[in-house]
Each structure stands twice: as structure tokens, then as C-alpha cells.
Structure 1
Amino acid sequence: MFSIFDLSLQLNAFPIKKAKSDLDKIVALYPQEKRQFIENQKQAIVEFHLENNPFYQKLAGSKEYKNWEDLPVLNKTNLQSPLESRLSKGFSTKNCYINKTSGSSGTPFIFAKDKYAHALTWASNMYRFGWFGIDFNRSLQARFYGIPLDFIGYKKERFKDFLSKRFRFPIFDLSDAVLEKMLKKFQNTKFEYLNGYTSSIVLFAKFLRKRNLILKDICPTLKVCMVTSEMLFEDDKKLLETQFGIPIVNEYGASELDLIAFENPKNEWQINSETLFVEILDENNKVLPYGEEGRIAITSLFNKAHPFIRYDIGDIGILDERSTLEKPILKQLIGRTNDIAILPSGKKSPGLTFYYVTKSIIEDGGNVKEFIIKQRKIDSFEIEYVSENELDLVQIQKIEETIALYLEPNLHFTFIRKNTLERTARGKLKQFTSFL
């Protein structure tokens, strides 16, 4: 018998029953069989698009497929053409799942998935959440996400939340008065899990710490918390574990693909090798060995409507040395390729390193709730922050000294105290932005 979530997918012509059954078979494969399945599927999806997708034929320069590493690396710039020109034969905007990326990489675009591929995405989500006893048809979710503010978009999102057993906490205003209301909702609701943007959930945990409260004591039905879309730093993870009293799971996904990596119960950031194939590439598009840092390129193994083959998602990461083809493990997600700080000495540093160094000092006293860093000139940065009290000269000096030690001296900072920080239309907080 279908439950409401499965039924809503089925009614929209997403074959969730078949997708779940097929995924179960892939998961059950022995390692050798899984390796063979991945190689077969890689070949099948490339051959399909070379045969049926004029956009991909043009990109590849030929209909012949010989060697995987000779295939072009697809990037977001390639995808900024009308969607209709990128669809495979037999697919249209009428018979596909259509959506738009969030644009957190700076280059949003519209994409398509065929209905079976989209059903597989949901089957893969359900499978992974199931590791922690979460059932999308029965478990109630406390959702920390943005929401469209126009009337139709708002109502549509609320209806989707109802079908998906989710209660959404809009995150554009996270003042203490709003957090207090959230707390009351947890007292009166049998939530089983939290899911949402890292920065918002961390802010809620800081509020609980200030009040000396553990969320599990307030809402005993809670089992787990999944954070997504923004970096989860180790000290924030400890804070969440302490204040929530439940396991914290780090997820990494992309709307145009699927869940890419999901922390398993052994604390490994396990890559989804059932529906995706992940590579780490150097600047010449050559595959790097496990343990080396490079650009993350992902192949969607089932999407026939639109090619995502060796797709450079715009992130930098490392696959663990213990990885195998059938069970790759993400050792580290370093950040986005467009979030690099370029310094006067010529040194390049991932913007998140910069953010992390500042974070270790700026949050020490618990005064600062949130902050973001903007690079305006090669030697000039703005730090916008939300706090109860303004940063004093001693704190500012300490931040400047630490950055000089970790990065380089003679950088200039402007500190701007704000009531709220700007977020993207979807509610994400961009921790570091370079305007160079």
C-alpha cells in the first residue's frame, strides 16, 4: 500500500515503486558485480547521449565513444543555453522533471531529469535517510529552509511540505523572538529529525546553548539531524551534537544530480555510487589518485533527458585513500572553485580557510552569532557580523594578527555590524565571497 509521499510521486508520474525496487537490487550487488554495473552504466549513458542528444554530440565532437578520459568535461557555462536545445530526442519540458539550480555557485541554470531518474533520486534519498531510522512517509521533519515569499510559490511549497511530512521554519529572520517560537513548536510536536541549511541550524543550537537547553530533552522523539548546502565545521558539529543530543549527519548534494555524499552510521562521508560516478580532476582534466585534492566531476548514470557526464560541479574536494570504485568516500569538501581569496603576495587561499581562521576567534566569547567575509580589493576585506555587542579593538586586533599569521600580513579589514545578514533567495548564507 502506498503512503502519502510515495503516492504523491506516483500521481505525478514518477515511478517510485520501480525506482525503489531497482535501487534495492543495485545496493545488494557484490563488490565485483557493483564495479561491473558502474562500468556498464557509464558506457550506456554516454552511448545514449551520443546517439540521442545533439547538444552532447556537438560537445563531444563525435558520435564515437572509445575512451572515458577523452570525453569532454562539462561545466556550468556550457549549460547556459535554452533548456530545449539541451534535451535528448523524445524528451520535452512536458514529460520531464524541470527545475533550476540555486545559483550559489554564481551561475544558475535550468535543468531536466527524466521521470525515472527523478524517482531514483527520491529512492536514493529514502535509502540513505533510512540508515538513521527515518521514513519519508511517516517521520515528521523540522525543516530549516528558505521559502518563496510570493503568494503562489509560498502556498505551493507549503503544500509540498504537507505531502512530505515536513514543518518548515522560514529562516530569513532568526532573531531570538523567532527562535523562541521555534523552541515552542519543538515542545509541542513529535518531530523525528531536523533537516536544513547548516548556518540556520547552528544558529538555533547557539540559542539553545545560551538557554542551557538540550533539544532531545524538549522533543524526545528526535532521532537525527541532517545538515546540507553549507560547510559543517568540526566545532559546529560538536556544538550541534551537544545541544541537540542526537547524531549529526553531513549531507552533500546538488539539485541537478542527487545526494552526492551522505555520512553513514560509521561517520564515513559515503559517496552515492548507485546513481552517480564521481571523479577528482586536476587543472588539465586528468583523473587524480585517491587522497589528492582537485575539482569534483560527476556523472549522472541514469538521466537520459539531459546529459550530466563528467560534469564539473564547481567544488573542490578529496576522495579518501580507502575509497574503492564501488564504495568511494569523500575525505574532504574544500569549497567552491569561485570562492578563492587571491592575496597581494600572489598566494591563493580557499575562502573557507579564511572564514575558518576568523571563526575560531570571532565566536570565542559567544557574542557573535553569524558573520560573512567579502573580499573587495586584493588587500581589503569586509567582515559583516551579527552580535549582541560591537566587537572591541582587542578582538579586532586578535583577528588581524591571526589572519596575518595563517595567511599573510598587511591585509586591511572593515568590520560592519548588522542586524541580519543577506542570504540567497533560498535562504543560504554565503560565508565567503570574492568580488575581484
Structure 2
Amino acid sequence: MNLFNLSLKFNGFPIEKAKKLLDSIQKNDENELLNYIETRKQDIVAFHLEHNPFYKSFAKNAKPQHWESIPIMTKRQLQQPLYERLSEGFTTKNVYINKTSGSSGDPFIFAKDKFCHALTWAGFIDRYNWFDLDFNTSKQARFYGIPLNKLGYYKEHFKDFLSKRYRFSVFDLSDSQLEKNLYTFKNTKFDYINGYTSSIVQLAKFLQRKNKILKTICPTLKACIVTSEILFKEDKILLETYLGIPIINEYGAAELGLIAFQNTKNEWIVNTQDLYVEILDDNNRVLPYGEEGRVIITSLYNKAHPFIRYDLGDIGKLSKESTPNKPILETLVGRTNDIVILPSGKKAAGLTFYYITKTVIEDDGNVKEFIIEQLKLDTFKISYTSAYELSEEKLITIKNAITKYLEPNLTVLFERKTSLDRSNRGKLKQFKSYL
């Protein structure tokens, strides 16, 4: 039974109509696709200028035919009551409502009209089909957080039932719990794994210590989809080795849906069907392929609420192999608020600091996880969980690497912990600055 599709229809999301539109978009040739994107960009701006008082006030000088005239929208500007941001004809009773994760530090409630939300799901369904995965029939091993209040908890478990998902805890990643997880994998015919990168990496490290391959324990597994957190190259190799299945990188946002999805050729394909993605510099100029900048996204179909030239808060880069109708995401560096500011005035992405440290302290398998916090301009704290304390020699090696790649005379503190703090959704924030 197609419970997932039926649940979408029951809640008023026209999934069949959305699938038909998606199919028609995908049949466009190169020129038709470019014309389609340009038309949709202008149409969505014109719609909100006419029907959305909030956007009309926000984008006073916007001209749909002149894209550079469209102002950049930030999360801070959307932190006002939702009813003030809805378009005419839309109320809180006839839209899909959710809230952002707050990982950028600027959480807010947003809305999508029901057709737009159905189109988002059509996109996910289409991409999963690339790997012979079906939302209605494929059994998912899910490594996500879950609300701890009763209503949210049971609501998520009901959604899990409709979507053929079994949810593993991401709040308990102890060896004893991971051993129980393996028992569940052994006795359940899972088709794929989906969840937070850091949690699934911990499962792979446990398998590494046990010298086991998950595919041999659960032969029905076809793929693993990681999302919500950065996937490092070394971690991808670790996952491929000890899960024994293809690792698929997914990039999305609650308010926008699917942004990019890795295909069977290991290309991270940007969604051009219902989104328009730009990479801009600090002066809001479009960067050429191969250059790193801010990820700016326009939702081409959301009539209930404007997300037009919306600064998601991420830093990324499109591959030089990209074309206008086939953008390929090469890297996703991190969030714009995860910036290291050094005494010399130099700036670096927080995950750069994390990556430097990661390559040094994880090579022997002792350290399970770690996070980095910038306490002062010249002071950083590295908290880690491990089987045993890091040696003085290892600490010196880490400090030398930080000096080499960042700058000298930085103070680095270390603290070994039994567990690391995760968000209330179970995500592990790898870098945090208190400046």
C-alpha cells in the first residue's frame, strides 16, 4: 500500500499534480530549461510584488525583468509574525507551516503553499529513484533527532510508520547502544540508511573497531543518504568501507526542500526544477563557477511566502564543470556564522579549523568525536570524547598544525569529556564562536 502518497493526499498536498509538473520540466531541452528558469524567476517576483504586502514593502525597487534589482533576503528580516509575511489568499489554515532548525542562530517560522510543498516531495521521490529507493516501499533506517515533548514525539513516530522508517536514537551513541543497533540491522530488512552525518559516522567507527561490515549484517541495504551536516572526504571513505554501500550526499533546508543531491556518477546535482541557486560574494555579485561564496536561493513556486534571493547562511562553491541548466555543487564549506576571526585580522571558515584538527587527532581511532569553540580572539577550546587521554606529543602535533595552517601564538585548550552536547534535534555543531 502506498501509505506515504496517501498521507500527502490526505493532508491536501497534490502529489500527483506535482509529479506531472516535475516530469514536464525534466523533458525540457537545454534552451527550454533556461527559458523556463528565467520565466519562473520573473513570475514569482511579480506575484509577490502584487500579492504580498510584506514583500512589496521589502523590495520597493525590485523589477522582475532586472534580477540585480532584487534585494537579498536574510533570516533576520523574516523574524516577524508569520501572518504578516503571508500572501493574499493564504492563512495559517491553508498552508504548510514549519520552523527552521535554528542552526544559523536565526530560527523562524515559515510557510509553503500546499502545491509548493508537494513539489518538494516530488523532487525527493525522483532523486531517491536514482538509487532504486521508494518512499512507499523501501524500509529506512533513520538516524535523526526527535522532539521530546509528547505531541511532537508521537507525531514523528506516526510519520515514521507512514514512511516505513525505523528511528534510531542519535542521543545515545555509546558502544552498548550501537551493539543493540547492529542487532536491529541483523533482524530487519532495511533498504537504506538516512540521517545526520555525525551519527552515522559514529556507527561506522564502531563497525571499524569491531572489524565488521554492515552490508554483511544486513544484506538488503542498498545505500546510505547523509544530510544536515558536512560530509568530509575521509568520513565518506570510512562510511563506504564499513557500511559497504554507496554513500549519497544530500543538501537541503526545511524552508526550501531539496537543494542538491548526489547522483550515481558522484556529481552533487543542484535542484533547478523548483529552485534557483546563486553563489554571491560579499558585495552581492554573482561569482564564476569554481569560486566560493554565499549560497543564495529563490523558491520558484512558493506563492504563500516569499523566499526570493534568500541568503540561506551557507558558504559553498559550484564546480567549474557546471552549466546554467546543470549546476554541480562542488563543496559546501559551512555556515556564514561559523567564521574564525584571528588576532591578525585573518578570517577562515570554522570548519577549516575543524578539518585541520580532524586530520591530526582521528588517525589512530582513539578520538570518537570532537567540537571546537572560539572563546576569545586568540583562544580556542577543543572538547573530545576518546577511549583514553590524548598524549602530550599528540597535543603538540595539533598545536603545530594549527600554527601552520592558521597563524602562530594561538592558545588551544583541550578537554576530554564522556559525551558532547548536541542540539535538541540531535545534531552535533562542530564549531562555535563566542565572539
The interval holding the TM-score normalised by the smaller chain is over 0.9
Post-superposition, which runs of at least 4 consecutive aligned residues in structure 1 deviate over 6 A? none
Partner amino acid for 1:391? L
Matched, 1:173 2:172: yes
After superposition, residues 208-357 of structure 1 pair within 5 angstroms as 208-357=207-356
C-alpha displacement of 1:63: 7.1
Partner amino acid for 2:367? V
Matched, 1:396 2:390: no
Specify the alignment match of 1:14 in structure 2. Answer: 13
Partner amino acid for 1:226? I
**Conserved? CA contact 1:367–1:387, under 8 Å:** yes
Q: Secondary structure at the match of 1:93?
A: coil
C-alpha displacement of 1:64: 4.8
Q: Structure 1 CA distance, aligned partners of 2:310 and 2:145?
A: 27
Q: Structure 1 CA distance, aligned partners of 2:65 and 2:237?
A: 48
Identical positions, percent? 64
**Conserved? CA contact 2:340–2:350, under 8 Å:** yes
Specify the alignment match of 1:144 in structure 2. Answer: 143
C-alpha displacement of 1:253: 0.5
Partner amino acid for 1:164? S
When the two chains are superposed, the root-mean-square deviation of aligned CA atoms in Å is: 0.9
CA offset digits 1:14-69 (Å, max 9, x no partner): 00111111111111211111111111111111110010001110111147534111
Q: Secondary structure at the match of 2:216?
A: helix
Partner amino acid for 1:58? S
Matched, 1:382 2:381: yes
Q: Structure 2 CA distance, aligned partners of 1:423 and 1:319?
A: 30
Specify the alignment match of 2:201 in structure 1. Answer: 202
Q: Secondary structure at the match of 2:84?
A: helix
Specify the alignment match of 2:31 in structure 1. Answer: 32
**Conserved? CA contact 2:63–2:70, under 8 Å:** no
CA offset digits 1:363-388 (Å, max 9, x no partner): 11111100000000011111111111
CA offset digits 1:326-354 (Å, max 9, x no partner): 11111111111100101111110111010
Q: Secondary structure at the match of 1:345?
A: coil
Partner amino acid for 2:287? L
Q: Structure 2 CA distance, aligned partners of 1:174 and 1:279?
A: 37
**Conserved? CA contact 1:341–1:434, under 8 Å:** yes
Q: Structure 1 CA distance, aligned partners of 2:223 and 2:86?
A: 39
Specify the alignment match of 2:131 in structure 1. Answer: 132
Q: Structure 2 CA distance, aligned partners of 1:203 and 1:313?
A: 28
Q: Structure 2 CA distance, aligned partners of 1:298 and 1:64?
A: 18
Partner amino acid for 2:135? F
Q: Which moved more, 1:243-252 or 1:284-293?
A: 284-293
**Conserved? CA contact 2:136–2:163, under 8 Å:** yes
Partner amino acid for 2:15? I
Q: Secondary structure at the match of 1:91?
A: coil
**Conserved? CA contact 2:258–2:271, under 8 Å:** yes
CA offset digits 1:274-297 (Å, max 9, x no partner): 010001111111111111111110
Partner amino acid for 2:113? D
Q: Secondary structure at the match of 2:77?
A: coil
Q: Structure 2 CA distance, aligned partners of 1:227 and 1:74?
A: 28
Q: Secondary structure at the match of 2:229?
A: coil
**Conserved? CA contact 1:50–1:64, under 8 Å:** no
**Conserved? CA contact 1:297–1:310, under 8 Å:** yes
TM-score by length of 1: 0.98
Specify the alignment match of 1:80 in structure 2. Answer: 79
Q: Structure 2 CA distance, aligned partners of 1:170 and 1:10?
A: 29
Q: Secondary structure at the match of 2:249?
A: strand
**Conserved? CA contact 1:51–1:63, under 8 Å:** no
Specify the alignment match of 2:91 in structure 1. Answer: 92
Q: Structure 1 CA distance, aligned partners of 2:65 and 2:330?
A: 31
**Conserved? CA contact 1:173–1:420, under 8 Å:** no
Partner amino acid for 2:144? Y
Specify the alignment match of 2:111 in structure 1. Answer: 112
> Unaligned stretches of 5+ in structure 1?
none
TM-score by length of 2: 0.99
CA offset digits 1:288-316 (Å, max 9, x no partner): 11111111100000000000000010111
Specify the alignment match of 2:362 in structure 1. Answer: 363
Partner amino acid for 1:17? E
CA offset digits 1:165-214 (Å, max 9, x no partner): 10000201110011011100000000000000000000000000000000
Q: Structure 1 CA distance, aligned partners of 2:64 and 2:147?
A: 43
**Conserved? CA contact 1:262–1:270, under 8 Å:** yes
Specify the alignment match of 2:64 in structure 1. Answer: 65
Q: Which moved more, 1:84-93 or 1:28-37?
A: 28-37
Partner amino acid for 1:234? K
Specify the alignment match of 1:409 in structure 2. Answer: 408
